[in-house]
Structure 1
């Protein structure tokens, strides 16, 4: 019996602590722009409410600003505005009930129920009614401020406006987040392609089944990339500092859309290889996928270096013109031809992701209808 590999068991405690510390440090550094934006925004909101509006305790301005901006990846102006509006509605409803019915147990219960109901009616986002109810609860339980009714509503409006202004004027450089999410996707995508090349070269059925499982996990990564890009595009529309990057972000959105399709097609190829289960090497197909792998790696680098995309297109065209099952798998069972046919949409999507129009990309594939 062979001894287990040294890395099969759990990491030693010092190594786990080191990994956790490293992850914490990376998380903090990645969030540094958001942390700075939050600190500046909440200070501005407090200063305006306290010194300009003369509100001694502008709690609503502070909480609405912080909650509207948050630390989430999606910092789109629409999301910031929705959060600010929901919290302001909760505060305003609570002040109305306080003005009409006063403070007490049943008034508190009515306040929470009304805030939850109204904001749930206004928004499909499940977390917003909770934020509104929290703010309504604070207003219902705390003493009425010296400024009189709707002082806290004014603070909430101010906090929301400050949050929106800081989204445009102190942006978190959403391009960095979009780049990070895009590179994470490419790392997973190319790793799967590399494993498929190995499967085709040596006919490793066990690896084929593992690759299929990993391929299914790419959908989460592509969705995260899409969310970060959508956020970046939305912020670039209102930020004078990011407006010049709108065309670059639009190109990346197009790339992400076609890579979403490519990831789905990669799962189809993985599934076909897993189902074949014969363990036979297929060196010609391995060579083709190796060419796709090389081009995809360059496509990932083109996030930072767009000048690489023509090279990517040339490499993929050289693969595309060979994708004829009558040439690659003559006289083979239908399953072999189906495997070649499943690679064609993958190459088509990668060509489109590199910037080639779809119709032009289709013309690079051999005609198999005759």
Structure 2
């Protein structure tokens, strides 16, 4: 295999970099972060105002910093994650306050504070971010003097409570994010399937290998989708504004689960396509069947946003599934060809169940073999 052309690789890198820095992408990035920005601004402002005007703290810096750090701009804004981050920061503040009370403020006290806060945080939680959050807040306590002991601990608690309240009362429209993540997965799924269809039509092993690579790459988007669903469901459980969406998150998880199974079956199919394309012979029957399954799967993005599309998607897949008889469709062909069409059967079942059909009904739609 020849080495990649450095000039071509450089052009690809520059093109990708320009795409990430394009004005359209920048605007899209800002739009996607609008909910998180609103949460942070509201929570940090409220925490600072409460600590300053209600509790009488002159400069409640930690009330704002704890709020901002615990919410952040990350995808996963579930209450448990926010609470864990808050606890990490409170641990750091408490350690620092105790050391200031015992040993005062200085360079060696800062070193001890950072060491103790990191060790304690690592003992309490296995997430690296938990320990770093504790160390950052501990450092702030050490370098910004305060005459009243544990005043900053109170500010940190105020900030943490504000972050948790705004998570429930000003949610980030997680259902929209979940649907977008699902659409990304389905687009990548369709791309992988169509590459395999082209490989079967042409008997092209290299194209089949690209299809296999695309099928394997689906796991990353699927994991991101699962994370969004889990985050949204956790928020919906505590938010009075999203309480009615809990059933919708359950439905999204059902679609994701069965599409995850479908991608696993797609990888099995892709490996068989790679093997079959060794002889360079086109296989139009298998290509047409897989293409029809891909066309039916293109209805699933509509299912994600509107449950009323489920019957249409189910019927589209079922119309292909009822014809998946390997012996009849690959009569006179090798057992390997029949096995390829046989591998379409579990894929069809997964697509039907993703569209809301029961597993028993989906299996019953297949012809007996």
**TM-score, with structure 1 as normaliser:** 0.92
CA distance in 1, matches of 2:280, 2:351: 28
Deviates more, 1:254-263 or 1:271-280: 271-280
CA distance in 1, matches of 2:279, 2:94: 68
The residue aligned with 2:149 is 149
The residue aligned with 2:99 is 97
CA distance in 2, matches of 1:125, 1:18: 29
The secondary structure found in structure 2 opposite 1:57 is coil
The secondary structure found in structure 2 opposite 1:10 is helix
Q: Deviations over 1:219-275 (max 9, x none)?
A: 101111111111111111111111111111110111001111111111111111112
* 1:30 paired residue among 20, 29, 32: 32
How big is the shift at 1:9? 8.1
CA distance in 1, matches of 2:280, 2:168: 56
The residue aligned with 2:251 is 251
Answer yes or no: is the 8 Å Cα contact 2:266–2:347 preserved in 1.
yes
Instruction: Spell out the pairing of 1:198-213 with structure 2 (5 A cutoff).
Output: 198-213=198-213
Consecutive aligned runs of 4 or more in structure 1 exceeding 6 Å deviation: none
Instruction: Spell out the pairing of 1:235-314 with structure 2 (5 A cutoff).
Output: 235-276=235-276, 277-314=278-315
Unaligned runs of 5+ in 2: 1-7
The secondary structure found in structure 2 opposite 1:73 is coil
The answer as to 2:62 corresponding to 1:60 is yes
How big is the shift at 1:33? 1.4
How big is the shift at 1:17? 7.6
Q: Deviations over 1:324-357 (max 9, x none)?
A: 2211222322211221222122111111111112
Answer yes or no: is the 8 Å Cα contact 2:97–2:149 preserved in 1.
yes
Answer yes or no: is the 8 Å Cα contact 2:195–2:210 preserved in 1.
no
CA distance in 2, matches of 1:130, 1:48: 26
Instruction: Evaluate the alpha carbon distance shift between residue 71 and residue 9 of structure 1 in structure 2; reply closer, same or farther with a 3 A threshold.
Output: closer
The answer as to 2:119 corresponding to 1:117 is yes
Answer yes or no: is the 8 Å Cα contact 2:79–2:167 preserved in 1.
yes
The answer as to 2:50 corresponding to 1:48 is yes
How big is the shift at 1:24? 1.3
CA distance in 1, matches of 2:109, 2:302: 60
Instruction: Evaluate the alpha carbon distance shift between residue 264 and residue 97 of structure 1 in structure 2; reply closer, same or farther with a 3 A threshold.
Output: same
Instruction: Spell out the pairing of 1:77-92 with structure 2 (5 A cutoff).
Output: 77-92=79-94
Deviates more, 1:271-280 or 1:73-82: 271-280
The residue aligned with 2:178 is 178
How big is the shift at 1:56? 1.0
How big is the shift at 1:362? 1.8
Answer yes or no: is the 8 Å Cα contact 2:19–2:25 preserved in 1.
no
Answer yes or no: is the 8 Å Cα contact 2:76–2:231 preserved in 1.
yes
The residue aligned with 2:194 is 194
CA distance in 1, matches of 2:72, 2:195: 39
Root-mean-square deviation (Å): 2.0
Instruction: Evaluate the alpha carbon distance shift between residue 63 and residue 197 of structure 1 in structure 2; reply closer, same or farther with a 3 A threshold.
Output: same
Instruction: Evaluate the alpha carbon distance shift between residue 294 and residue 31 of structure 1 in structure 2; reply closer, same or farther with a 3 A threshold.
Output: same
Deviates more, 1:328-337 or 1:184-193: 328-337
CA distance in 2, matches of 1:310, 1:9: 48
The residue aligned with 2:328 is 327
**What is the count of residue pairs matched by the alignment?**
360
The residue aligned with 1:340 is 341
How big is the shift at 1:295? 1.2
Instruction: Evaluate the alpha carbon distance shift between residue 9 and residue 116 of structure 1 in structure 2; reply closer, same or farther with a 3 A threshold.
Output: closer
CA distance in 2, matches of 1:124, 1:367: 51
The secondary structure found in structure 2 opposite 1:107 is helix
The residue aligned with 1:4 is none
